Amino acid sequence: MSLSLAAREQEGRIALVGLGREGLASLCAGLGLKPFQVSEVYRWIYGRRVLDPLAWTNIPKAARAALAARTSAQLPEVAGEQLSADGTRKFLLRLSDGQAIEAVYIPDGNRRTVCVSSQVGCAVGCAFCLTARMGFRRNLTPGEILGQFFVLEERTDIRKVGYNVVFMGMGEPMANRANLEEALAILEDEEGMGISWRRITVSTSGLADQLEAFAKSAVCPRLSLSLNAPTDELRSRLMPVNDKYGLRRLRSVLQNLSRRGRERISLEYILLGGVNDGTEEAEAVAGFARGLKVKVNLIQFNEAKDLPFVPSDEERSRSFQAVLLRHGVPTSIRKSRGQDILAACGQLARNNWPGGSA
């Protein structure tokens, strides 16, 4: 859970980014502000992205001074930045306790996407993911989740042109659901950061219980499930989380979500050469998807040192896609971006920066 206001105060100045409406009401208590003025404070922080209380011109001067003395505008520090040949930019962001995460800016014509993290490291342990090699350090707070957007908006053109969001960076979002929901409430709020839920996708490895609860939340955006194998035996080998949440359980969750009339859920499927990319696996994926409101995104495995897999070749990838399309399953092959700077899917691990690991 995120820190209470009292706990934040014990640590020193209160971080403004991450405080929701209730937190701001508590912060402003005793300053003589009316409810509409507290709402103005919220709009200054998230709607206008102005973190200096002294600049909040429609707030009484005494209250501005008091808030400036009690709060901090601290954001993650940009400790490194790398540029890919395809225009993708990866940012190494240092947190207040010295831990570091990565976030990625992905331009594609007029379209912009940012890939953000939800944890420092990850405990899921997928065999094809570099982040898994880090292990799990800790959850990100709501402020640290939102701080990534403030930093990327400052460093890139996304605020000007608009952007999509994918929670596909470091960590398993469903393992940090409470803090994620707090951040999403601010992110999606029209008076907050104003990003439509339709432009946000949260990915999960398949924590079924958390996914079910999250799907009932008022802030739940688009959803994406990392499938990667059509049998329990193979999926458990690639993704240990399958030992607890097997395919039957996951399909039951997807069936329930399909009946509720939600947007199509994306099934992410990383194609590993000679492992999960054959015709037999494609037929099994089609069987899994039958009757579900889903689409399949086929993703080429992004090679990295120490990962014991190779990408599927183009012929096998196209054949896999053809099987799914023949069964009426909406399917696309997703283009990987930023591979040359280890910014692509499964490659975020803080270990390719000058000087070694962060």
For the chain, domain boundaries: 5-72, 77-341
263 in Cβ contact with 338 (< 8 Å) = no
- Please name the amino acid found at residue 322: A
Output 349 or 46, whichever has higher pLDDT: 46
Rounded to a whole number, what is the distance in angstroms from the first to the last CA of the chain? 26
Domain 5-72 has CATH 3.40.50.1470: no
The three-class DSSP label of residue 56 is coil
From the list 28, 40, 102, 182, the catalytic residue is 102
pLDDT of 144 > 60? The answer is: yes
The predicted pLDDT at position 285 comes to: 98
Residue 251 above 60 pLDDT? yes
Q: What is the pLDDT of residue 263?
A: 83
pLDDT, tens digit, 9 for 90 and up, residues 15-66: 999 999 999 999 999 999 999 999 999 999 999 999 999 999 999 999 999 9
Q: Residues 312-329: what's their mean pLDDT?
A: 96
Residue 347: predicted pLDDT: 62
Looking at 3.30.499.10, 3.40.50.720, 3.20.20.70, 3.30.70.20, the CATH number of the domain 77-341 comes to: 3.20.20.70
Angstrom CA distances, 243 to 190, 197, 207, 228, 231, stand at 40, 31, 11, 14, 12
Checking 204-208 for CB contacts under 8 A at 24+ apart, the result is 204/172, 204/173, 204/174, 205/124, 205/126, 205/172, 205/174, 205/239, 205/241, 206/239, 206/241, 206/242, 206/245, 206/250, 207/172, 207/174, 207/175, 207/241, 207/245, 208/245, 208/249, 208/250, 208/252, 208/253
Q: Report which of residues 82 and 6 the model is more confident about.
A: 82
- Asked if 140 and 178 count as a contact pair (C-beta separation under 8 A), the reply is no
Query: What is the per-residue pLDDT for 125?
Result: 93
122 is catalytic: no
Active site residue 314: no
Distances, alpha carbon 250 to alpha carbons 124, 242, 246, 329, in Å: 16, 9, 6, 18
Quick one: pLDDT band at residue 356, thresholds 50, 70, 90?
A: very low
